[in-house]
Amino acid sequence: MSVHTLTLADVLREHRRSRPATTAAVDGPLRLSYARLDARTARLARALADAGAGPGDRVLYIGRNSVRLQEGLLAAARLGAVFVPANWRQSADELAFVLRDLAPAAVLWQGGDLEPAVREARAAVSAEPAQEKCLWIRCDGAADADGEGAAGGDPYEELIASAPEEDPAGDTDGSLPVLGLYTAAFDGRPACALLSHGALIAHNAALFQVRRIGPGFTFLNSGPLFHVGTMMFNLATFHAGGTNVYMPAFDAAEAARLIEAERADHMFGFGPVLDAVAEANRGEDGAPVHDLSSLNFASHSPEWDAQVTVGTDPWSASGMGGYGQTQACGMLTYLALGPDGEGTAGRPSPMVQVRITGPGGEELPAGETGEITARGPSLFSGYHDRPEATARSLRGDWHRTGDLGRREADGTITFIGPRMRMIKTGNENVYPAEVERALKAHPRIADAAVIGVPDDTWGQSVAAVVQCAPGPAPTEEEVVAHVRGLLASYKKPRRVVFTDALPKDGHRPDYDALDAAYGGGGYPGG
């Protein structure tokens, strides 16, 4: 163990010492100080360790946003384990895949409307040897306002209340993975990107600088925490000693109420989300219902701008964003570091080095398009149990992002688009191969291809072009329902087109021809 190591658990231990009374988390009526968050996390880690979870094991979370997700991550950090928040919108089939892929030592899960899919997924894998020793912990209820004791006999709270308040393990190596996020379903199934303590801490340091995050900063977790866009702000807020406010799932009126009640500085949101909040916060007389002025945000629309404080900090003034991906813990480049530059994605984070490379890995001169490659302390460690995918990505001491970009003459970066086809609907990535796999699982579909169609609200929507097998053809409604039964709802096609034969480019669908024939377009970077 090195004197230079630092883990997420160490950050929490230091907060316990230096700001014990500061509010760390707000989750409904539950308000936790950093001292209480540390105590609950230590108890959860002890309980998980007693159940057999240890270094390198996976702890899976299936549920909506909650401080329990943060507690699970920090407990895993104490154990040297890897915490994985699953996409709770997934189908039972998708969740069963995650269970098989991770073989977790423990699963924290919520019931309610999530219960049927979770139980079906669990039943599908229950007979497999890798699942036999898994500890399942239901966490539906909530602790009382001080985080003391159980409410309503909730098994999660009972487990914490009964466990001793002690660190179950010694120091953990900061270079080890602590967080896993599923991404990149180019081959039809997603892969779990492994992010180390050191990588997350390095990314936090860059985000501190660019977004001006410090003690007292309050973040409204209004987006899903299985998504790096919300998680990166959650972790930066935690690391800075700020306050994370949790919404189980996005609700525009509740977001407005929480912004005023907690004086939130920032929230996760993009166009349609911001429009929804502005509209929900307008009373019958047209005046705002809640005071949103604490929210320091980028300019978006006249109605939004009139209700919030339009930020002059580099992050907000630049329109926010840049270029990023899960494998970079979030942001790889920032518009705020190149606000007046030629490139559409700004300049690289101070924690990374970026090159634009050709097919052989050679660096290309400014003005030429190639693959965006990067290295630095905020890059991921590889994919869980995907040695071939890891080897393809991490080659020659550089991470190959799979995205195309261009270095401009002034040194800024322009993002061109994914090297492989991807659809962006709302803020979610949809990979055609994943939807095509689901379509071709239908007994009356012989072949299928998926394209993205421009959508005024969500950027793109999913369209399926289907070639039926001999015999009675399924209806469009049947095809959509079939996909919805296998995948998260946002991945299902909004339109199904039937054809006698799919155009081919070798063995794969000719996507350019399909786009031209059926109105495809609007792809990321286009």
CA atoms within 13 A on the CB side of 324: 26
Same domain for 155 and 131: yes
Number of domains in the chain: 4
Tell me which residue range forms the domain holding 370: 322-418
Could you say which residues of the chain have pLDDT below 70? 1, 141-153, 169-170, 186, 525-526
The H-or-E segment that residue 373 falls in is strand 369-375
Q: Say whether both 224 and 304 belong to one domain.
A: no
Are residue 61 and residue 196 in the same domain, yes or no?
yes
CATH number for the domain harbouring residue 41 = 3.40.50.12780
Q: Encoding tokens for residue 101?
A: 């892929």
**312 plus 326 within the same structural domain:** no
Residues 301 and 442 both lie in one domain? no
- Residue ending a domain, choose from 317, 352, 370: 317
**Is 1 part of a structural domain of the chain?**
no
Q: Rounded to whole angstroms, what are the CA distances from 268 to 99, 234, 290, 483?
A: 28, 10, 18, 29
Same domain, 438 and 335: no
CA distance 367 to 16: 50
34 occurs within a structural domain = yes
Domain assignment present for 525? no
Question: Do β-strands 266-267 and 218-221 pair in parallel, antiparallel, or remain unpaired?
Answer: parallel
- Whichever domain contains 389, its CATH number is 2.30.38.10
> pLDDT per residue over 277-331, tens digit each?
999 999 998 899 999 999 999 999 999 999 999 999 889 999 888 999 999 999 9
Residues 370 and 487 in one domain: no
For the record, the structure tokens of 442 come out as: 């239908």
Is 331 found in the same domain as 290? Answer: no
The reported pLDDT for the residue numbered 142 is 56
Provide the pLDDT for residue 419.
Answer: 76
Q: Are residues 281 and 193 in the same domain?
A: no
**Domain contains 27:** yes
Which helix (H) or strand (E) covers residue 40, if one does? helix 34-50
**Among 418, 445, 479, where does a domain finish?**
418
Same domain? For 433 and 366 the reply is no
Q: Are 405 and 323 in contact (CB under 8 A)?
A: yes
Q: What is the pLDDT of residues 98-145, one digit of tens each?
A: 999 999 999 999 999 999 999 999 999 999 998 989 999 999 865 555
pLDDT at 287: 92
Among candidate residues 375, 394, 418, the one where a domain is terminated: 418
Task: Indicate if 139 and 268 belong to the same structural domain.
Answer: no
User: Both 430 and 414 in a single domain?
Assistant: no
Produce one character per residue of 3-15: b if its CB has 16 or more CB atoms within 10 Å, e if not. eeeebbbbbbbeb
pLDDT of residue 5: 87
| pTM for this predicted structure | 0.85
